A and B are shown apart, each in its own frame.
Chain A
C-alpha cells in the first residue's frame, strides 16, 4: 500500500541535447493503476526505470510513501517489476524463479512455499512449478514474470509493456487478467505501454507523455472527452481524431462550405496569436453521414474498413485548395462504396478546438 510521487524528476542522458524525461510531476494514489502511455522514445520506460532505481534521477526527486527513494538502490525500494521480455532466470525452475526474491530476504521456507503456491494458483501455474522457463509457452512465461512480482507483495508494481510479446488474442485475455488481479491485490501499479487501447482499458488514470514531457494525466474518459492538447487528442482514440487547422471566422472554423461553430470565448482565445487560424478536431465516431441538403462536408471515399459492427470510412476532400483526409466511423449496415461521395456532419458540441500555434485546448 503506497503512494508514488514524482517531483520535478528529470533524466538527461549524457551526450543528448534534450532530457529523456523532463521535470515529471506526477502523483499516484494508493492502490491506483496508473498507465504511462506515449509513442516510442517519449520517456515512459525511462520514467518507470527511474522509479525502479535502474536509471539515475538527474534532477528532482521520487517518493514512495513520502519516503525519498531518489538515491536508493532498487533493492531498498520494495518494488517489483515485470519486464517486457519477462527476464526469467533460465536456469531456475518456475518455483525457484518466484521464490528467488523471498529467499534473498531470508523469508522462512514454509512461508515462501505458501506464497509461491498461492500466487501459482492465482495465475494457473500450479502444474508448471517444476518446469524450466524454456519448457513454457509465451503466455505462461508472462504469467511466471507476474508471479515473481506478486509473491513479493511489494509496495508498488512496475510493469514495462508486459503484453507486447503476446499474440493479439492472448494479449486481450491477459489484459483483463492483469486488471482483475491488480484490483484484487490492491497494490499500486505503474504500467507502461505504447498501446492506447491497453492504456484506456486498464488504467484508473492514464498519463500521456511526449518527448519526455507529461502532456496530460487523467481518467480514460476525461482524456477522451477533453484532451488537453492536439497531441493527446490525436493519440487517444482509434481511429484517430480528425484534426485540421482551418481559417477562423466569427462563428467558428471553416471547413469548405461547412462551419464548425465555436463559442465566443473559444474564438477570442483562438485569435490571440493564432494568425487567423484555429485547430479543430472531431472524432470519427462523432460524425453522421447526412444527405447533400443537410449541409455536410462532401467527402470522396478512398477506403472502407468493414469491422462487422460498423465501418471506418476513409476519404478526402478539398479545403482551401489543399486535399485533406478524414475518417468517419459509420454505424452497422450503412453501405458505402469506394468512390462514392458522402456528406459528413460532426455531431453538435462534440468537436474540440485547439489553439492553432500552441496546440493547447481552448
Chain B
C-alpha cells in the first residue's frame, strides 16, 4: 500500500521518460509532494521557484507557451487559494497545458491544521470555466489519472492525498479515471464518494451490511466534466448519500444534488462532509472521526438519517 503522492511522483517520472514536454515547477515542497523523485530522475526538467506560488503558476504558464507541459508541485491549498487568480487568468482562461497537482488535499496533511488543509478545492476548481477536475480513489487510480492528465490537452486539477489508504482497485485493473463507476453493488440507497474518501466508504459499506443494509457505492473520479446521465443512472432513483473529504458546499454533494434536482427523480440527498466548518490540527484518525468522515462516523450518520 502506498500513498497517492508516491504514486503521482513515480508515475510522472515514468511519463517524463518518454514525453520530453513534461516539466515540474515546484514551490519548495518537492520532498513533501514527492516531486523530488522527478527532480532526481529528470533534474534538467525540474524548475524550483521557491516559496512563491503565484510566480510558479506564471512561470509554468510561460513555459507552456513554448510547448512544455508543466506540472505544478505544491499543496492544494496554495494552488487553489493563494495562486487562484493566476490559475484563473493565466491557465484556465487560456486553456494552457498546465497540470495542477494539488497535494496534501483535504483534511489529512500531517497535523498542519486548517491553514494547510484544503476542503474547498473541488468547489473552486469546479466553478472555474474549462477546468478539468480529477479526484482519484487510491494509488492505482492516481497512476491512471496522472497518465490521463498528461495526455489531456488543457488544464487539469488533480487532487492528491498525502496519506496512504486501503486500495479500492487492484494493481492490474484497467481504470478509466474519467467515468463514475460502481465499486460495490447494492440496493436501498446509494453512497456516492470521490477521492480517497471512497476507500473509507468501502469500509463503511461493509459495516452497513453488517447492520442489515444493502447500499451501493459509486465512485466519481472526475468531477468535471462529468457524464451526468451516466452518473444519474448509477445513483438510481432512491435515497443518496454523498461523502467527501471536502466542504459540503460546491463539491461532490453539490454536483450530485444539482444533477438529481434537474432530473426530477431520485433523492433525497444527504451530503456528508465539512458543514461550513473549519477543522484543526490533529492525528488523521482523530480528524476523520471528529469531522464525520471515518467509516464508523459515516455509518452512524447514514443510520441516523435512515431511521
Tell me if chain B binds chain A. no
Q: Which residues of B contact A (CB under 8 A)?
A: none
